Every structure is written in C-alpha cells, then in structure tokens.
C-alpha cells in the first residue's frame, strides 16, 4: 500500500464474536491484497436491547446500523453473520464476498457434560431462537425450553450459574472464539437443521465501490455462496425472517454428472408440532431455483400458516 492510500474501514459489531469474525476478514484482506484495514465498531439495535428478537422485528436488528453507516460512507465494508442479513437486497449495497463457511451445526453446552438425550425430564434449556425451540420440542425429550439473550459468554455463564441446565449455540461461533471444546454435544442436522446461512459470513460494500468489490471478490467461496444462496432463496420465498422457525442446510456433493446441491429444510411450530421437513436437489449453478422450488413445495404442505403464526 502506498502512502497515498488510506486504510479500508471495516464496520463490525462490538461483541467478541463479531470482532473476531471481522478480524479474520481483515487479516485475509491484508494477507491477500496488501491493503491496510481498520476495524470500526458500530452499535446495533440488537446489541442495545435485551428484548427477545421476535418482539424487535427479528430481521435486520443486528445489521441495520452497519448498513446505514456503509451507505453514508462512514465505512467501506461491513462484515455480518450471514444468517442475520435480510433476504431482500438493498439497491445501494452488494454482497461482494461469502468466504468459506465454518461448521453450520448447532451445539449443546450443558452442565456435567450432558447430551440432549441425557438431559433429565424438565431440564431447562435456553435458546433465543424459535427455530431451535421448535426443533427441540419436536424431539419430545420432555425438556423445558426457556428464552435467553446475550452473547456467547453471557449465555454460557448463565448455564454455569445454574439458571439453565444447557444452552443451544452455533458451533461456528464457538470455533471462532476458540471455545469449541465447551460444547457437550454437536447436534446432528437430522435432529436440528441450522438457520439459513448459519456459519457463513457476509462481506458487503457499496454497489458503486468497484475497488473494494474487487478486493473482496478474492475472498469469495463458490460452494459456500451456492449453498447459502439456496438456503436464503427458500427463506425469501417462504417470506420468513430470521426469527421464524425455519431451518435449512444446503451442501455440495459429488454426483454422477458433476457437483450436486442438496438442500434440506424444516418449518415448524415453537410447540414442536406440526413440522414440515422436505428436501430437494439440483445443480449448484441453479441454487436460487432449488431453494425457491423447495419453498413452494413446503408452502403447498402448509408452511405459510406456520410462518404466519410465528411472525404475527
């Protein structure tokens, strides 16, 4: 970088997980492009409020302030957890990079090293996610699902203090924080599908900022982008936000005629019933169409009523 080039300003939430994620992107940009990157912390509505996400509108509460700062030119790019990003595009912004995804699965962090199957009847399990609550209740384990807010530290601390017997978290966050060994069980997606986009990061910049767009494109991972495109297309077609009980996971696998995209999805009710669970396959290049097609099939099975109840 020459002395005339200023540092790229990367906007991030101030939490330990957000700054760790953003720091990883900053390090990659420095290593792969030679530019200097300055982290700029920005407070979001989701960080300032302790209210349940569903009562705050859910979608966008962790990203709106970052996107507004980006549009105003106060920062040059923003790094989000992709699952927090609304599916409706903003005409001022471009999703310039979706780096390689971390493990998208959910985990349990429980007292005494317990797994879900080992939790006693009536055990208190904390989650702020209607999606996790719906799928946990659908397993019929007889546990009590209770709301919880706060960052990873706060949630695990509440469990250690005895407020909960276990908490459900994203494994990607624990991995990025170097705390993966605190999970007492990695939950199989057959039991609990993750949120659409979980484990992936979104790097946004202004649509007219060609220089930053070109820099970020070097970080893009085509398989991850195809997978999250399918998941987010499904979410958009269902017209469900990030607070709706919708789980989805797309994976790229080698098929007889080249790579194949396999998408699994679930729409549930927080009570645990009813639950609609379907899957679809297609080419990675047709990821958006695969997601839309599966969503249409789920809507035909009654998913619209479940989403409407969750978002009303």
- The residues carrying an active-site annotation are 84
Q: What is the CA radius of gyration of the chain?
A: 19
102/201 Cα distance (integer angstroms): 9
9/148 Cα distance (integer angstroms): 33
Is 91 within 8 Å of 67 (Cβ atoms)?
A: no
31/168 Cα distance (integer angstroms): 34
The secondary structure of 32-72 as a DSSP string is HH---EEEEE---HHHH--S-GGGGTSTTTTTHHHHHHHHT
The residue behind tokens 């009303």 is 312
Q: Is the dihedral of CA 236, 239, 241, 247 positive or negative?
A: negative
């Amino acid at each position: 970088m020459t002395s005339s080039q200023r540092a790229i300003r990367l906007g991030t939430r101030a939490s330990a997980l957000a700054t760790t994620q953003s720091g990883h992107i900053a390090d990659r940009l420095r290593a792969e492009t030679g530019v200097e990157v300055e982290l700029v912390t920005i407070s979001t509505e989701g960080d300032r409020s302790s209210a349940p996400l569903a009562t705050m509108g859910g979608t966008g509460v962790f990203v709106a302030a970052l996107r507004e700062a980006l549009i105003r030119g106060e920062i040059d790019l923003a790094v989000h957890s992709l699952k927090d990003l609304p599916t409706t595009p903003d005409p001022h912004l471009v999703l310039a990079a979706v780096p390689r995804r971390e493990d998208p699965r959910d985990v349990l962090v429980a007292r005494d090293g317990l797994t879900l199957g080992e939790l006693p009847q009536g055990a208190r399990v904390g989650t702020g996610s209607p999606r996790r609550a719906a799928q946990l209740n659908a397993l019929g384990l007889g546990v009590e699902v209770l709301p919880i807010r706060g960052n990873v530290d706060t949630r695990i601390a509440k469990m250690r203090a005895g407020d909960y017997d276990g908490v459900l978290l994203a494994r990607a966050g624990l991995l990025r924080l170097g705390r993966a060994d605190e999970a007492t069980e990695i939950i199989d997606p057959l039991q609990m599908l993750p949120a659409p986009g979980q484990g992936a990061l979104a790097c946004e910049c202004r649509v007219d900022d060609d220089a930053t767009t070109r820099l970020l494109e070097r970080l893009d991972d085509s398989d991850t982008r195809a997978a999250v495109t399918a998941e987010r297309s499904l979410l958009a077609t269902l017209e469900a936000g990030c607070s709706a009980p919708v789980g989805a996971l797309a994976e790229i696998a080698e098929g007889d005629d080249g790579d194949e995209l396999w998408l699994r999805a679930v729409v549930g009710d927080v009570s645990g019933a009813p639950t609609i669970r379907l899957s679809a396959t297609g080419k990675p290049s047709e990821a958006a169409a695969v997601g839309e097609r599966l969503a249409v099939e789920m809507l035909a099975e009654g998913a619209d009523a479940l989403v409407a109840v969750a978002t009303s």
